[in-house]
Structure 1
């Protein structure tokens, strides 16, 4: 295991102390996409606060309010995409703790794009997993709607039609 920091209990620190199976390196090296890409079959698993129907991922803010740092998401998404056999996953619950959909027609106003739509590959919710890599906007919207919470799918479908027009209805 490679890490740049660890925070936890005495038990964690005892486990890490002189453990030859754990290597600590500077964050600039651990999060270097070109170092990450040297690992074959690299799987990067990240989370997000919301995603829009085009696949833009917001992982750091709720609207204009900063919720957390972006961490190494961008580095690991890019590094895994350059890895031989690598895959990148955005894992998320489909709804917020307030019962709102995290899959939205467009990101909340002011939300930051941490992972751009062309870099988003696999998106996973409790309703399934879809691969957006190489997909057009219509396919992306359909795929993301298919893993949204069921109570929001019709609303998202109407929004996709409104944004993408009749091609959205015809494209199969």
Structure 2
């Protein structure tokens, strides 16, 4: 599966280059990542998706949930966020940015399309297999269940 568009890869590469060129300390090099909210995946027949569905970021980075297609939002799963982190919920059809200051595994979904499997994961900082196991033990219904199973396999391959 291909999830990052050339535009997003270029943006991420330029942001990283700019931070390193300016000689900023590591704590000042937080990045903004983009997750598109889509009716259809760009490279498959999957419908109601976040692109990319799994992100691995550093503590202090931000994620812009981009309302690329209408009718979507991003909302944290109350039972899939690290202790001490704040839940979030965007308005439908609007871009929304979340800064991740607490390390761990975050599960999120599109409120109107959760049962259709519109879910995603953000891994912040150095995530352990135990943390992934705990997050993956949360029960889900409908298509969200199978999508999360796939996304946790992707997440395991990243750590």
TM-score range, shorter chain: 0.3 to 0.5
Q: Which has the higher strand share?
A: 2
Structure-1-length-normalised TM-score: 0.32
